[in-house]
Amino acid sequence: MQVFRIGLAKYTDSLQASGRAARWNPNDIEMIYTAGSRSLACLENVVHRNQIGLNQSFKVMTIEIPDDLVILSIEQKKLQTDWTEFHNMPVTQKLGEDWIIAGKSAILKVPSAIINAEYNYLINPKHPDFKSIKLLKSEIFIFDKRIKMS
C-alpha cells in the first residue's frame, strides 16, 4: 500500500517524526502522519497552515507500506461524535500514545478529521517493522493558490 505525506522540502529526504503534539500524539511521542491519498495529504496541510505558509518549498513523499504488515485501526464509530473538536484532542492523543506504547503494529489507520470516510495512517518509527517501510520518492509539490484564501 502506498501512503503520502506533504512536508517542508528540507524534511522530506527521510522518514522522521518531530515528536511535537498533534491530533493523535502528545508531545514527545513520535509518530509519522501520512494520508491515504495525495489530495488528503494536501488538505491536511491546508487546514494547519495559513496562505503564507503554503508558499514555502514543499515535497510530497510517496511511502510504501508492505502488504503483509499488521495495520491496527481506530474506527470512527467508536469515537465520540465530536471527536474532531479541539477540546477532545487529549482523548485522541491518549489513543495514539496507548497504541505506540503497546507496540502491536507499526501502522495505525485512523479516520480523517477533515474528510469523512477517508483515512490517515500513522507510522511508529520505533516499531521493529518500521525498517520495512520505505520512502519511494519525494517530489516537488506546489499548493494551488486558489486552495485557501487568508
* Full domain range(s) for residue 71: 2-141
Residue 48 reports pLDDT greater than 60? yes
149 located within any domain: no
Strand partners, 140: 59
6 located within any domain: yes
The count of domains in the chain is 1
50 located within any domain: yes
Angle at 33 between CA 110 and CA 133, to 5 degrees: 100
147 located within any domain: no
133 located within any domain: yes
Q: Who wins on pLDDT, 55 or 124?
A: 124
Round to whole Å and give the CA distance between 110 and 12: 22
Strand partners, 7: 59
Strand partners, 149: none
14 located within any domain: yes
Residue 149 reports pLDDT greater than 60? no
The share of the chain scoring above pLDDT 70, in percent, equals 95
Round to whole Å and give the CA distance between 150 and 133: 36
Residue 17 reports pLDDT greater than 70? yes
127 located within any domain: yes
What is the value of pTM for the model shown?
Answer: 0.93
